[in-house]
Amino acid sequence: MNILAPSILSADFTILGQQIKATEKAGAGYLHFDVMDGIFVPSISFGLPVLKSIRKASNQVYDVHLMIEEPIRYVENFAESGADIITFHIEAASDVREVIDKIHSLGKKVGLAIKPKTPVEVVRPYLEHIDMLLIMTVEPGFGGQKYIDYCTDKIKEARELIDEAGLSIDIEIDGGVTYDNVRVPIEAGANVIVAGSACFTGDIESSVKALIEKISQ
Ligand code: DX5
Ligand code: ZN
């Protein structure tokens, strides 16, 4: 089953709770929460108190994407604040296994993320230890960018690698998804689709419903 994960980075924060509920009502199983530290990526977004406060807005799976240096420092706090899946960047962690094990020890699912220029090959040693692989389809840092076409081949490569190893890991993609291109990563082998601007532009419920319909075809 393919899953849509609306990214609240593109939401209207004056009515955030309502907007989250609209994505849930429309059938989005996950809610994507982008944390940026201004060091790993140039921008700063939001963090722990916001997660804690919106946790009660819906019963979705809270999919927390950490774009922060040395994520080990904060995984416990994000777990306590309501994350269900904690995804961190391989490029940001000096000891990848340590972070994976720490997240699992907190009873949460682990996602491992790679930036567009990071080869899929680098995740191979960790595949059997993670629940989800996040392949960025834009440079992390901002919403509303254009989908990078060469990342489609990375999705295919990752799917092959995972299938060959006989594993059942989710492949999530993040960035530049629109109603018109969303089938591209799906056909390549992704099954969790993050979408920010495509969900929060116009009427949220109808945008989310239309995307879900398209990824379920
Ligand atoms: C980028 C974030 C994305 C972003 C996606 O660093 O990780 O989740 O919000 O936004 P869109 O869908 O607008 O490209
Ligand atoms: Zn993200």
Of the pLDDT bands very low, low, confident and very high (cuts 50, 70, 90), residue 198 is very high
Residue 43 CA: nearest ligand 1 atom is 6
Quote the pLDDT of residue 200.
Answer: 98
Smallest CA-to-CA distance from 57 within 33, 88, 89, 35 is with 33
Quote the pLDDT of residue 98.
Answer: 98
CATH number at residue 59: 3.20.20.70
Ligand that comes closest to the CA of residue 139: 1
Quote the pLDDT of residue 160.
Answer: 98
Residue 139 CA: nearest ligand 1 atom is 6
Read off the pTM. 0.98
Of the pLDDT bands very low, low, confident and very high (cuts 50, 70, 90), residue 74 is very high
Give the residue numbers spanning the domain of 45: 3-215
Nearest CA to ligand 1 atom 4: 143
Q: Does 24 contact ligand 1 (Cβ within 6 A)?
A: no
- Mean pLDDT, range 198-207, rounded to an integer: 97
Mind telling me the catalytic residues? 34, 174
Quote the pLDDT of residue 23.
Answer: 98
Q: How many domains does the chain have?
A: 1
Smallest CA-to-CA distance from 116 within 88, 85, 140 is with 140
Quote the pLDDT of residue 42.
Answer: 97
Give the whole-angstrom CA distance, residue 35 versus residue 88: 10
Q: Does 111 contact ligand 1 (Cβ within 6 A)?
A: no
Residues, Cβ < 5 Å to ion ligand 2: 34, 65, 174
Give the Å distance between the CA of 21 and the centre of ligand 1: 19
- Mean pLDDT, range 56-75, rounded to an integer: 98
86, 75 Cβ separation under 8 angstroms? yes
Which tokens belong to 156?
A: 């295919």
Ligand that comes closest to the CA of residue 40: 1
Q: In the chain, pLDDT over 90 holds for what percent of residues?
A: 99
Q: In the chain, pLDDT over 70 holds for what percent of residues?
A: 100
Quote the pLDDT of residue 215.
Answer: 98
Please name the residue that has the structure tokens 């429309």. 26
Work out the mean pLDDT of the chain and round it to a whole number. 98
Q: Does 43 contact ligand 1 (Cβ within 6 A)?
A: no
